[in-house]
Structure 1
């Protein structure tokens, strides 16, 4: 790293051209492509001090972390968990208003791509933002079962005739079979959160008999798998430095984001092979070593430590 200069990094960011397919081609060699769970979600990479007039791809987006509109880059990701529990990003988009597409458009486009590339997921999971009728029918047409959050005012019916908002239904812990308006039969679950608020989720399986047999444990397992993409978003910010760039052009920003995502996949592969315990281990060990070296050097200057880092002993 001693020979790595700021200029060489800038040249790399400006020169290289990576696409999401490059990421998939690298990770496909390390995962089971069949039968896993494909999770879709987005996150905002905070860039509060960037100038919108000078830095491309920066905009204003709603942040679930801050619960308000913030300045930054919006990253939409497909995150795949295979049957062994290995989890990696397999496709992504950087929101660009010049594309004239919505986050839902990006999601459907990315799923179509990974299916063409050879991924064969069994299940798709998303949050409520991606639960539009168009998306649900898209999943169904692709013969994918799914778990997705829904808004509390979505119209459902137990008998298929009398529709009401899902929040008005008496939903047992084991779930309730309902008809979702303009879609069909699903199983709805409810989870309670702090402040006595509820969130609602629906599960769909192509086989209605199998859908009826979906248990609370099945729902909890899929919900837990989907939580992995939230952990991924946290890791690429805290460990991989995805928000730490000082370039302005779209291509340079894209190269930086690709590099940060690729760094995460390396950490996940190391974790899955038990070379590290978790994604944060390398960062923690590096920080501890730097802190140790600094303290020892500081003490040496103050109290005259010997070459072995030991305090002198009075005879």
Structure 2
């Protein structure tokens, strides 16, 4: 018996603790040695191509079964897997986590998620590796920098996705709302629904834009329950902007500004489409809690990257099981855990008999 990707991803799904080469070997009763697992992790090369290959059959099946009035969206977001106690490298280093609003040491990755109906699977994932040395005149220090920005990764992924899937909208938070990104989406023939920073400026007419008369979106007066038709600084066609007020868990109120290139949408439709972006948050959570993404003690960039992509592929396996069994990732994992507890309870009963 040898270590394979299928075997390793099953182990990641089944595990509830640290995942290691020794742990997998013990689970299989020594049928695969820990050295075999280590060699497999060191010698494999997993990347975004495998992510697409595993997602493709699920997407094609969903496309065949989709009702005529249903459409797919792509969702882009990045996340940092914290690795505070792992030795730093080009892969494990300090990244700005805009979700937490602070710098975090760990592994940073950008995902492009396909979502339609019950299906939500990554079709492209890129790791942010800081391999470039850059002199910072302000701090008088040399800093590590990635060769490509997250926005450059997004545009590259969208160009590849153009040949792979049909979708109607790209959904993203304000980090990806640059004019260059929005123009790239429109050039590919798709629409966008993205969040805007409150300081982002717009013009109320083409004439105002030509004259340089812009104002921040948080100064706009919105019609009752209707989006406002405006013009962004470097995006040629008119867009819709809407303002949503929501209540946080602590009782405070927050405001979300959304912009869309689809000027046929009303307020409710625009909000409903953007709500689908929440699927990427569920994806990140399941990766870390159900696919053992952060539970490996791997120490080299190659083994760390391979374990990371194996966890992505384990997530897609969970998504396939969700569709097959009709239960979500967390419930499925809970059932696996309960089965393990029952086996341990029975074994204990035998020991004490």
TM interval, short-chain normalised: 0.7 to 0.9
2:73 to 37, 59, 78: 37
Distance 1:186 1:170 in 2: 16
CA distance 1:5–1:173, shift in 2 (3 Å): farther
Aligned counterparts, 1:144-183, within 5 A? 144-160=190-206, 161=208, 162-171=213-222, 172-183=224-235
Paired residue secondary structure (1:120): coil
Aligned counterparts, 1:187-226, within 5 A? 187-193=240-246, 194=248, 195-205=252-262, 211=263, 213-226=264-277
TM-score by length of 2: 0.77
Equivalent residues of 2:230, 2:240 under 8 A apart: yes
Equivalent residues of 1:176, 1:189 under 8 A apart: yes
The reply on whether 1:135 has 2:135 as its aligned counterpart is no
Distance 2:54 2:347 in 1: 42
Distance 2:235 2:310 in 1: 40
After TM superposition, give the deviation of residue 8 of structure 1 in Å.
Answer: 2.5
Distance 1:293 1:178 in 2: 62
Distance 2:166 2:55 in 1: 14
Equivalent residues of 2:200, 2:217 under 8 A apart: yes
2:149 to 96, 99, 102: 102
Moved more, 11-20 or 26-35: 26-35
1:285 to 311, 335, 346: 335
1:257 to 308, 314, 318: 308
Segments of structure 2 that go 5 or more residues without pairing to the other structure are 1-27, 64-70, 132-145
User: Paired residue for 1:18?
Assistant: 46
The reply on whether 1:237 has 2:288 as its aligned counterpart is yes
After TM superposition, give the deviation of residue 201 of structure 1 in Å.
Answer: 0.9
After TM superposition, give the deviation of residue 235 of structure 1 in Å.
Answer: 0.4
After TM superposition, give the deviation of residue 276 of structure 1 in Å.
Answer: 4.3
CA distance 1:179–1:56, shift in 2 (3 Å): closer
User: Paired residue for 1:309?
Assistant: none
Q: Which has the higher contact order (CA 8 A, sep 6+)?
A: 2
Distance 1:49 1:4 in 2: 29
User: Paired residue for 1:114?
Assistant: 161
Equivalent residues of 1:108, 1:135 under 8 A apart: yes
TM-score by length of 1: 0.85
CA-to-partner distance for each residue in 1:235-267, whole Å, 9 max, x for gaps?
Answer: 000100111222222222221111111111111
CA-to-partner distance for each residue in 1:114-149, whole Å, 9 max, x for gaps?
Answer: 223x22222111110001111111111111101111
After TM superposition, give the deviation of residue 85 of structure 1 in Å.
Answer: 3.4
After TM superposition, give the deviation of residue 223 of structure 1 in Å.
Answer: 1.5
CA distance 1:56–1:276, shift in 2 (3 Å): farther
Equivalent residues of 2:87, 2:299 under 8 A apart: no
Distance 2:350 2:301 in 1: 47
Query: Which structure 1 residue ranges, 4+ long, deviate > 6 Å from structure 2?
Result: none
Distance 1:222 1:235 in 2: 22
User: Paired residue for 1:311?
Assistant: none
After TM superposition, give the deviation of residue 108 of structure 1 in Å.
Answer: 0.5
Distance 1:244 1:6 in 2: 16
Over the residues paired in the alignment, what is the CA RMSD in angstroms? Answer: 2.1
Equivalent residues of 1:56, 1:249 under 8 A apart: no
